[in-house]
Every structure is written in C-alpha cells, then in structure tokens.
Structure 1
C-alpha cells in the first residue's frame, strides 16, 4: 500500500558508490551487501517512493586509476562505465529477488543486456512502480557518476539526490582519520564549493545548484536508513540553496 503523501521525498534518486557493493572485500561484488542494500531500496519502494538509482563502478574499474597508469582518459572512462552496468545488473537481480520490480537503463546502448536510456521510457517505468537503475553514467567520458546522478534526478523530476556514503553526513575532514573533523547538518552549494568539500565533484554540485535540487548525504551502512531518510529522520547533511 502506498504512503506517498507521508514521505518527505516522494520522488528520490539514490547514488550508491561501486565501493559500497564490495563490502569488506578489496574488489568485486559482495552478494550479502548487495542483498542488504536491495532490501533497503525495496522497502523504500514499497513505502511509496518513486525510486531511481545510480551506481558507480569503482569496485571493478575506476577510470582515473586507469589514466594514472598511462591509459587514454576517454578509454579508461568508457571501461568504468561498463563496470557500472555490471553493478546495475547485480542490483537489479537483488531487487527482483527482494520483491521490487526493477529495470536497468544504460546510457551506452547494449540491447541484449539492458534497455537504452530514454527519458520517457524511464518515466514510464517509474509510473509503474519499478525501481529504475541508471547505468553507464552520462554515456560520455570526463563526467563522473555523481554528475550522472544529478542529471538523471533532474530529468526524472526528483525531490532530491541522496548520496549514500559510509559516514552520516559531510565533515570538514575524513572523520575516520581526523577525530576533530566537524560534521555539518546543512550546507549551501556555495559553501561546498568554497570549502572544497569532497562531497561530489564541482560539476554535480553546480548542476544541483542551478536546478535547485537538494543533495542529501547519509550513511548507507546503517540498515533501514533509506526509509528513515524518506521519513526525514535519518542523520544526514542536507545541501541546498
């Protein structure tokens, strides 16, 4: 039964890093972690949220690392995009197993694997209560999955972008390394850019600012936190105008 009217963010895009999918492993996909994340997302969908997801590929291949080893940047970025497709398919399978119908739409056309990204097709799936997983970034090199997440959130008419991390918000420094790091409850887009806080890349923050879409940074490690975020009770940092 839908509880759409009770949700703080009835239409939400969740950005999950590829690293989150590998759990404590040094590489690849931890199925236990993926199943837990899928369970949280499925619960949010059942609560009535029109839910989209963008997943990174850093657990398999990271374009900037390839570039650092001498690889052409565009080629390395395309390889990273293909890694996101693998992660998206794993998440789709776990969501279906959790009882939440899901569709993967890729910005790089591969019709034997998943649907191509077409905005109206994505909206069609959302209207039919399916979780939509956007893969392959924007389909262009030199753009991060953070930028892709912000772009897709705007295209889907989302109320916010939720950046899932391993900490409960934005800090002035890495709280795992600096016990004196200050945590922020709220920030403006300008403050994030001026303080050079590593929340999202500058292009993603500027895109969110220009389109007045809030960015919410929260911990994905706490089970059930997606639903808490929808109810407005999750410990998080909200970035807005």
Structure 2
C-alpha cells in the first residue's frame, strides 16, 4: 500500500461509527453489496435515490476498517448512482496525502488494491437497489460543487491560496516565475491562467490542475487563456499517459 494513504486510514480506524446496522426508516430501501465476507449496507431514500445511511461489516484488518469507515462517511447523502460511479474516486482523494502514488492521472485502480473492494461493494449495492426498485439511471449527473471550505473563502483568500500552490508547483519543477499567472476565477471553480510558452505546456497544465485539486479542492478546473485572442478560452486536451 502506498504510504500516502496509511495515516488517513489509521485515523479512520481509530474512530469507527459505521460498523453498526443501519436504521430502518419508514420509507427507506435497505440494500446490501457484498464482496467475499465483507458487506456494505445502505439505507436509500427511494424518492431521491439518495443514501441516507451506510454501514459495513466483515472487514479483515484495521486498514480495511479504515477504508470502509471512510467510504461510508463519504457516500452518505450522495445519490446512489453517484456513489457507485465516483465514490471510490472520492475515497482515493480523501485518503491521499503527499505526492500522487502513481505518475499521470490517478485512478483508484492504478493507485492501490485497497480500492478494489469498495468499488465492488458499491456496484453490487447499486445492482441490488436496481433489482429492488427498478431504478434505471445509468450514469451520474450529480455535481456537488466545490467544498464548503472553498466556498467560504473570500476572493483574496482564494487568490492567495492559489498563488501559494502555483509557487510551490513552479519551484518543484524549476520553472520560470511567470510559467503560470492567474488571470481570473470564474463560477467559483474555473481558474483561468496566462501561461508562458513551453513545449511541455499541455502536460504541465494537467499536472498543475492535479496539484491544485489535491491541495485546495477536487472540483477546481484549470483553463488557459487563449494566446492569440485573450477573450477566448480553450481547454487543453488531456494528454494520454501524463
């Protein structure tokens, strides 16, 4: 297991509240996802298709307890389809400290085997919910927006936080001081930068976005101001295998 996950898992395993049976509300649907001896139980509001409460049982060791405790905390109040589609992505981001565990775009499957079981449990729970209710939505359109912490920051606080993150990114990679300069923050989450010419700019831009998402908020997006026409924005294509 990458060392960057261990501290968060130990903290979660030290304060467990989701290892008890879920409550049975009058209108909730109780479904279970299983993988081997481990079970994930969900109480779901069938009107909003939202997870009201989650619990787990059968964890094999202390670190798995930490994984499942964190998972339950993350997915409560999410739509069940969002939990199944992106719950493990949220889990990986929540647990990670320090540098990404693998180069390029981090996915839970590439990051560590500890995320395989949560993925299997969530998909099985969704299948159980479909069987019980006829729920047919195929993909999640849920967008929870940025975190409450980010939304609560004043404009100058946001700019200062971004400047600090960018300065660290530039120093780590020995880039020129003007490699990236923040031009605007739009719609709370879109960060528009002016970038100095660089043959590696697409890769650097995606790396900067990963750093900002890790340090500040996973919902933030990095855009570059179009050089030839400063009134237009273009999103750099994701470079494969970055």
- TM class by shorter-chain length? under 0.3
Task: Give the TM-score normalised by the residue count of structure 2.
Answer: 0.25
**Greater Rg over alpha carbons, structure:** 2
Query: Which fold has the larger relative contact order, with Cα–Cα distance below 8 Å and residues 6 or more apart in sequence?
Result: 1
